Amino acid sequence: MNISSNRWKKLFLFCLGLSLASALCMKWMESDLWVNGEKFSIMGLELFYAKEKLFTILSRLDGHVKMILSYHLHFDFVFMAGVYPAITALCMMARERVNNAVLKKFLFILAALQLLAWAADIRENLYLLNWMKKPVIRNEFSLYHFIVATKWVIAITGALLSTSVMILPGPERKLK
């Protein structure tokens, strides 16, 4: 392993730890996400709830649940600081393990695109935090869903492709 690979590996391990620790904190908080006797989920807020349901949830939060949701979204900023650099590092480590020039470039692009995914995730949280303060959801709801979908596609593609390269043998892999 060369010096660059070693640095990417150290970054990956640190960021993985950061994202896992913050994910555990967020998971612990999710048990308190209830409104009017009905449980709601962060994934629902991000991906699955219609505009009307999102509005209903955010406009009916009591003080305790609003505080928990706010904490969750703020812990998500910490999670982001771990997960997107971790995916970037994984893409860069995978890039060093392949001989195919096109795949090398694609992995580099996926690594760089994690900055866009991170920015999209930040914007997503800012939408939710703003809507919590003032639950008025206008025409930006379609943009919100586009941002969320973009984030997920970039992050999942980067994580799955780089993980596949790292663990699966193939003709592109360098023999060590």
Contacts of residue 153, Cβ cutoff 8 Å, sequence gap at least 6: none
The closest alpha carbon to 157, from 106, 97, 119, belongs to: 106
Structure confidence at residue 170 (pLDDT): 65
Q: Indicate the domain borders of the chain.
A: 3-166
Helices 140-167/101-133 angle, 10° precision: 140
Rounded Cα distance between 131 and 105, Å, is 39
Answer yes or no: pTM beyond 0.85.
yes
Phi-psi region of 66 (alpha: psi -120 to 50; beta: other; left: phi over 0): alpha
Structure confidence at residue 175 (pLDDT): 43
Note the pLDDT tens digit of each residue in 53-95.
Answer: 999 999 999 999 999 999 999 999 999 999 999 999 999 999 9
Note the Cα 27 to chain centre separation in Å.
14
* Res. 2: pLDDT tops 80: no
* Res. 114: pLDDT tops 90: yes
Is the CB of residue 155 less than 8 Å from the CB of residue 117?
Answer: yes
* Res. 132: pLDDT tops 70: yes
